[in-house]
Amino acid sequence: MKQEFIEDFKIHLKSEKNFSLHTIRAYCADVYTFLLWIGELNPLEIEPEKFSEYIHFISQINYTKTTIARKIASIRAFYKFLYQEELMEYNPADSISIPKQNKTLPHFLYEDEVENILRGIKIETPAGYRNRIILELLWVTGMRISELSSLNYENLNLEQNEIRVFGKGAKERIVLIPNKTKEALINYIENVSDLICKTTKSSSSPLFINYNGYRLQNQSIRKALKACLADIHFTKHVTPHVFRHSFATKMLENGADLRIVQELLGHSSIKNTQIYTHVSIQRLKDVYQTVHPHAN
């Protein structure tokens, strides 16, 4: 019965909530762990007090506040689903509150640091050229790595310097690329991709491929970035998502409207975008402390 509930929940998250595959896996794993914890108890007969016991239990484990918050959100979503399916007379998880998380400023790179990384990629090889254009796209568009790896040829409108992206919840948006990046991307499509693997380029074909002609996965992009950072002895911890943070920070520093940045990033709420204003302000303070003669 428990396994059947999880399978139905998975379908619900995919077809009705349009959650990403990564989020679906995380939510289902969280629910599975909870159902294992309650043992022989019927999940349809759980009392609210049991959730409090479970939250206390996972709080004793070395989880981050973010992970605990997600686990609680997963259970809340699961029981909301059971209630909506009329499998329960009331939702016992309604009263669970998600603990407030400490807000941390996102890590970002300065423009010269990004250029240093891009210059460090050896573009003499087909894979190197591909990796360079991938990181450049992350930097100039603010795309998530999952959005970039899922791009197909049909998503490109290079005449208008546009790329159609499907973000979280399958929400569609348009990101823009400068002419220099467009020219590099066209060169990849027309000359480089066939050197990686000669494949048919239909509208539904993946844009970025590996040597077997299959779609380049997120982990391969992370691995390529890690290798590049090691080659140039770059000491900062950098992930593909840092390029997204760097894009947003740079846009706001250069005077972009917050709503425009929200649109380009695909944030559903302006609150998610406002964090980058704090990053920009903190950077201004750092510069002031460094260069102003009476700052200290």
Among all residues, which ones are annotated catalytic?
144, 168, 241, 244, 267, 276
DSSP 210-252: -TTSSBPPHHHHHHHHHHHHHHTT--S---HHHHHHHHHHHHH
Chain centroid to Cα 250, Å, comes to 19
Q: Which residue has the tokens 């569609």?
A: 172
- Kindly state the tokens that stand for 1: 């019965």
Do 256 and 150 contact (CB within 8 A), yes or no?
Answer: no
DSSP state of 164: E
For residue 44, what are the contacts with CB-CB under 8 A and spacing of at least 6? 82, 87, 88
Say how far apart CA 143 and CA 141 lie, in whole Å. 5
CA diameter of the chain: 70
Query: Distance of CA 209 to CAs 14, 33, 101, 195, Å?
Result: 25, 35, 38, 11
Mapped onto helix, strand or coil, the DSSP state of residue 176 is strand
Say how far apart CA 289 and CA 294 lie, in whole Å. 8
Among 274, 246, 275, 269, smallest CA distance to 258 is for: 274
Q: Is 291 left (phi over 0), alpha (psi -120 to 50) or beta?
A: alpha
